Structure 1
Amino acid sequence: MNMPTFRNWRSVQEEVRRRIHSRKWAPGDLIPNEADLAIEFGCARSTVNRALRSLADSGVLDRKRKAGTRVAAEPVAKATLDIAVIRHEVEEHGAKYGYLLIKRSQTTPPVSVSGAMKTRASEALLHVQALHLSDDTPYAVEDRWINTNVVPEAKLESFEKLSANEWLMKHAPYTHGDIGFSAVQATAEHAEMLNVSQGSALFAIDRLTWDSSASVTMVRLLFTPGYQLRTAL
């Protein structure tokens, strides 16, 4: 039987996945080294390297320097999370989107914010608070800090008509980020904004994005009761 042609790293990746799925390479097994796989697949070693790195990043393989590459004994399923534009999210549910800017100011943030964003404690950041609406009903509160040393153009944006959420997606590239999910009780301020009772359970998303080693923005999104977040594995 002729060996299929492996012209790029994705085709190599799919073949490795196939062998793992069929248990030709079982969990915990040491797989052939990159040089041997490159010869077997008839491709460059760099192509194999990229395929294996991608599988290691997704938790399928366990790569250790000088110890080789093994099929993960307990593969970790990783979810794919995109940074959503809230307007698109609302409109995809067939609702009319609305937006209201509550506050915009260049101010010194709390120590908890400057510490997380790795900025100087005395350094002013742009603080934007806004309310997103779905069919004229409160949908989410956006409470955001923007590092204007990294995104200086934000100083010129009023955010009166376009949310910081959407503006940053168009104007501020990022390399990676941290994200957290929690349930929090509505404060009096947030209860008034979202038209819910104080103490109501709200779904919170806390996100901090970076451009290499510099923080871009830190945001807390608070969603009304009943909000659901769905993703793919």
Structure 2
Amino acid sequence: MAETTTFREVMAEIVARITEGPWGPGTLLPGEVELAEEFGVSRTTMNRALREVSEQGFLDRRRKAGTRVRMAPIRQARFEMPVVRAEIEKTGADYRYALVSRAVVVAPDWLRARMGLKARAKVVHLVCLHFADGVAFQLEDRWINASALPQAVEQDFSVVGPNEWLVATVPFSEVEISFLAQAADALMVQHLDHALGDPVFCVERATWWQNAAVTLVTLAHRRGYRMTTRY
């Protein structure tokens, strides 16, 4: 390979050798220096490629023992924070966003307990709607911890929704996701055209950054919504 080979190209070749041969389960790989010379890349590039392939579950890397192909690959789920605009536009539908309400309030007791917030902690409470081809697609009920993200207090969220703003503003180190069928409340009836008490597919997602709670959101979907994942 040429010296301009990227670590991603190296990764692809390593995975191909594992999945298609000749590196079968249990194979001890050559050392980093030898592989770097074969691939025509620096040792740093080779180390990064091997590390990435190892994190995908294909390799078992041990100091002094070398790098071996795992007998059975380990599946590792990687979570990328979804952006509802992209989800809607991917279907070919036109996306529209609307802010229903915004308030800066003292966190209610249930939220303080859920997110581990201090007494009298301030939060930004947002209710938003996301539309696909003019029809309400998702109702977003979100709480943002003002002490962890004080700039949220000044952000009006009238043009850019909190979903996109958070993805662009702060990373996350921990995420907790729950999927549930929730009885439609008055807000869901008003904006999603459900009847009161109808089962509504909801996603509840909480995120933290370095042990500080960032946000808790409940995403309620219009009837007929389907979530599909692949890994």
Same fold (TM over 0.5): yes
Which deviations, in whole Å up to 9, do the C-alpha atoms of 1:47-69 show, x marking residues without a partner? 22110111122222233445433
Please name the residue that 2:69 is paired with: 71
C-alpha distance in structure 1 between counterparts of 2:96 and 2:128, whole Å: 13
Equivalent position amino acid for 2:106 in 1? T
Equivalent position amino acid for 2:123 in 1? L
- Say which of 179, 183, 186 aligns to 1:182: 179
- Say which of 161, 164, 172 aligns to 1:163: 161
Q: CA RMSD in A?
A: 3.1
C-alpha distance in structure 1 between counterparts of 2:80 and 2:188, whole Å: 27
Equivalent position amino acid for 1:94 in 2? A
Cα 1:65/1:145, change in 2 over 3 Å: farther
Q: Is the 8 A contact 1:143 1:221 kept in 2?
A: yes
Task: Kindly state the Cα deviation for residue 103 of structure 1 after the two structures are TM-superposed.
Answer: 4.4
Q: Is the 8 A contact 2:10 2:49 kept in 1?
A: yes
Cα 1:62/1:159, change in 2 over 3 Å: same
Task: Kindly state the Cα deviation for residue 114 of structure 1 after the two structures are TM-superposed.
Answer: 4.1
Please name the residue that 1:123 is paired with: 121
Task: Kindly state the Cα deviation for residue 219 of structure 1 after the two structures are TM-superposed.
Answer: 1.8
1:146 is aligned to 2:144: yes
Please name the residue that 1:18 is paired with: 16
C-alpha distance in structure 1 between counterparts of 2:47 and 2:205, whole Å: 31
| Mean CA deviation greater in 219-228 or 64-73 | 64-73
Q: Is the 8 A contact 1:97 1:134 kept in 2?
A: yes
1:99 is aligned to 2:98: yes
C-alpha distance in structure 1 between counterparts of 2:61 and 2:112, whole Å: 36
C-alpha distance in structure 2 between counterparts of 1:55 and 1:31, whole Å: 13
Task: Kindly state the Cα deviation for residue 37 of structure 1 after the two structures are TM-superposed.
Answer: 2.3
- Say which of 223, 226, 229 aligns to 2:224: 226
Matched position secondary structure for 2:24: coil
- Say which of 2, 6, 12 aligns to 1:5: 2
Which ranges of structure 2 fall in alignment gaps of 5 or more residues?
A: none
1:59 is aligned to 2:53: no
Q: Is the 8 A contact 2:140 2:220 kept in 1?
A: yes
Equivalent position amino acid for 1:105 in 2? V
C-alpha distance in structure 1 between counterparts of 2:138 and 2:15, whole Å: 40
Please name the residue that 1:108 is paired with: 107
Which deviations, in whole Å up to 9, do the C-alpha atoms of 1:89-112 show, x marking residues without a partner? 33443245242413423221445x
Which ranges of structure 1 fall in alignment gaps of 5 or more residues?
A: none
C-alpha distance in structure 2 between counterparts of 1:219 and 1:139, whole Å: 16
C-alpha distance in structure 2 between counterparts of 1:198 and 1:77, whole Å: 41
Q: Is the 8 A contact 1:177 1:210 kept in 2?
A: yes
Task: Give aligned pairs, total.
Answer: 228
Q: Is the 8 A contact 2:184 2:200 kept in 1?
A: no
TM-score with structure 1 setting the length: 0.78
Percent identity over the alignment? 34
Which deviations, in whole Å up to 9, do the C-alpha atoms of 1:106-127 show, x marking residues without a partner? 221445x445645435422222
TM-score with structure 2 setting the length: 0.78
Which deviations, in whole Å up to 9, do the C-alpha atoms of 1:113-148 show, x marking residues without a partner? 445645435422222222333344332121212122
Q: Is the 8 A contact 1:127 1:144 kept in 2?
A: yes
